[in-house]
Structure 1
Amino acid sequence: MSGAVRIAALPAPEVAARLAAGAAVLLPMGSLETHGPALPMGDYLLAEEIAARIAEAAGAAGLDALVAPAIPFGGEDFFAGVPGSISLPGAVLQAVIEEMADSFLRAGTARRLLMVNGHGGNVAAAEAAARALRRRHGAVVPILHLWRAAGALHAELGGDPATLGHGGDPVASVTLALRPDLCRPEAARPRQPAGAVLGLAPSGFGTVRAAGVEFAVPMEVEEVAPGGVQAADPRGASAAHGARLVARLVAAGVAMLRALREHAP
């Protein structure tokens, strides 16, 4: 994608002029974690790329937008012990998000911000930061939780039920669409049997069932998704499906930027 929307690739006078003229700012974030043997660890790369595509599509629609560098470190959750992963405690991540947003809001250089979040472990910190920013600045900062939104679109857009889950879709297909150079589809493999927590099989990330009722319990990734793969069989992921998901996410992002321009305080 073009560097025309990425703040890091632009000279400061151009950024200042566009912000003064009302450009919105997208704040992408993700993590370094395991997505299994076929996909790269850095899902923040996808968040940054989708944010750039939203900004470019917005520009084509007359809504100028800029993209800040991505926060690459996710909130500490199931992946903290994965070799090569880097995670932050929730309070630290929240503070980083708030300081990032404050850099624009304090100086009055931008009033319209949109977070683009590519990691489930960031949800709590991002939403807490958004609440704090509204109290402090009166700014409403929406958050596009990419994989929550894409997961909800998976079946509608023709996704295979067997590919849905960690180590599979929606991340797998989106990565194949956006960064095929980083994918090793030949290494994809079906889910392996998971272990037990308190003698109970995991029913999801951080949950088990007892007597038909779900309980939250602390877990590590290997207890629920051995090797980083929870999807039944991610080998059906495809770039074509990923492109359909990205198109919907980009359209939604542009619609939110339009709502911010028309209604943000």
Structure 2
Amino acid sequence: MSALPGAEARIAALTAPEVAARLAAGAAVLLPMGSLETHGPALPMGDYLIAEEIALRIAGAARAAGADALVAPAIPFGGEDFFAGVPGSISLPGAVLQAVIEEMAGSFLRAGTTRRLLMVNGHAGNIPAAEAAARALRQRHGAVVPVLHVWRAAGALHAELGGDPAALGHGGDPVASVALHLRPDLCRPEAARPRQATGALLGLAPTGFGTVRAAGVEFAVPMQVEEVAPGGVQAPDPRGASAAHGARLVERLVAAGVAMLQALRDHAP
């Protein structure tokens, strides 16, 4: 049987017997994760909150279509990358984050309660650890655990759905529009500002997070956020972000998540 469309999805808010019954009846589980880092002066540090909101909406849409889904607590700490030293930022070494993801997913697989797991990743710095964990889970348990990299997917949809080109980038879209749509209470749009000029690294201007170009060829170099996105803002002008654009992005992401849950329901090994 499936839970009603309005049923609580958060595992943490349910009793153990409720969770056990829903898993036994075929509920899938979504594993949200993100980070605690700077997104500039207008957006909350915890992008894991946005990943959790998207996971909850995927679960709700899946239930409305007759397929139950539960949402595990979000992993709030991102993989170690550009944000060391940012006040309030907390990150984990990649190997530690990978181990946390594997244990989180493995707890369901070892218990035999479900093999239908979907990661909802809201931080680019988590991509290596999440994908390495997915490979390890398949090798160890024979389970295919897909990963929805929220911002990679939303960034690819940005132009198609009418996003402002100048708003695209760190500290701007797609995070800004999605946050304005899902958690306007945490946003300070009046504080949004255009990108500030960056300095040089090895005498070369940064071309992206962790890259510079010499003689027309891009090189990877270690960077901190202030070297490429002063104050956390790399987007040319985040002020073009909007809740309406965020709603369009979320609609597509939720539809994709529901489609993946259906694929897992029909074909998961």
User: If the TM-score is normalised by the length of the shorter chain, which range does it land in?
Assistant: over 0.9
Query: Are residue 255 (structure 1) and residue 259 (structure 2) matched?
Result: yes
> Residue by residue, what CA displacement relative to the aligned partner does 1:100-147 show, whole Å, maximum 9, x if unpaired?
001100010111000000000000000000000000000000000000
Query: Are residue 193 (structure 1) and residue 225 (structure 2) matched?
Result: no
SS of the residue aligned with 1:144?
strand
Counterpart in 2 of 1:6?
10
Distance in 2 between residues matched to 1:10 and 1:27, nearest whole Å? 16
Counterpart in 2 of 1:28?
32
Q: Do 1:3 and 1:9's aligned partners in 2 also have CA atoms closer than 8 Å? A: no
Distance in 1 between residues matched to 2:17 and 2:200, nearest whole Å? 57
For residue 176 of structure 1, report the CA deviation from its aligned partner: 0.2
Runs of 4 or more above 6 Å deviation: none
Count residues in correspondence. 265
Say which of 173, 180, 188 aligns to 2:177. 173
Structure 2 alignment gaps of length 5 or more: none
Structure 1 alignment gaps of length 5 or more: none
Aligned-pair identity (%): 88
For residue 3 of structure 1, report the CA deviation from its aligned partner: 6.6
Distance in 1 between residues matched to 2:64 and 2:186, nearest whole Å? 29
Distance in 2 between residues matched to 1:257 and 1:81, nearest whole Å? 38
Q: Do 1:27 and 1:115's aligned partners in 2 also have CA atoms closer than 8 Å? A: yes
For residue 167 of structure 1, report the CA deviation from its aligned partner: 0.2
Counterpart in 2 of 1:75?
79
AA in 2 matched with 1:201: A
Counterpart in 1 of 2:89?
85
Distance in 2 between residues matched to 1:258 and 1:195, nearest whole Å? 48
SS of the residue aligned with 1:209?
strand
> Residue by residue, what CA displacement relative to the aligned partner does 1:239-260 show, whole Å, maximum 9, x if unpaired?
0000000000000000000000
Counterpart in 2 of 1:113?
117
- Paired residues for 1:139-178 under 5 Å: 139-178=143-182
Distance in 2 between residues matched to 1:66 and 1:181, nearest whole Å? 25
For residue 197 of structure 1, report the CA deviation from its aligned partner: 0.9
State the Cα RMSD in Å: 1.0
Distance in 2 between residues matched to 1:210 and 1:202, nearest whole Å? 10
**TM-score, normalising length from structure 2?**
0.97
Distance in 1 between residues matched to 2:117 and 2:184, nearest whole Å? 29
Say which of 198, 212, 223 aligns to 1:219. 223
Query: In 2 relative to 1, CA 122–3 (structure 1 residues): closer, same or farther, beyond 3 Å?
Result: farther
Say which of 59, 64, 67 aligns to 1:60. 64
Distance in 1 between residues matched to 2:226 and 2:198, nearest whole Å? 8
> Residue by residue, what CA displacement relative to the aligned partner does 1:74-122 show, whole Å, maximum 9, x if unpaired?
0000012110000000000000000000110001011100000000000
Say which of 126, 138, 141 aligns to 1:137. 141
SS of the residue aligned with 2:70?
strand
For residue 62 of structure 1, report the CA deviation from its aligned partner: 1.2
For residue 21 of structure 1, report the CA deviation from its aligned partner: 1.2
AA in 2 matched with 1:218: P
Say which of 210, 213, 232 aligns to 1:209. 213
For residue 51 of structure 1, report the CA deviation from its aligned partner: 0.1
AA in 2 matched with 1:26: L
SS of the residue aligned with 1:5?
coil
SS of the residue aligned with 2:29?
strand
SS of the residue aligned with 2:153?
helix
Distance in 2 between residues matched to 1:12 and 1:246, nearest whole Å? 30
**TM-score, normalising length from structure 1?**
0.99
Counterpart in 1 of 2:234?
230
Q: Do 1:3 and 1:10's aligned partners in 2 also have CA atoms closer than 8 Å? A: no
Query: Are residue 37 (structure 1) and residue 41 (structure 2) matched?
Result: yes
Distance in 1 between residues matched to 2:175 and 2:187, nearest whole Å? 11
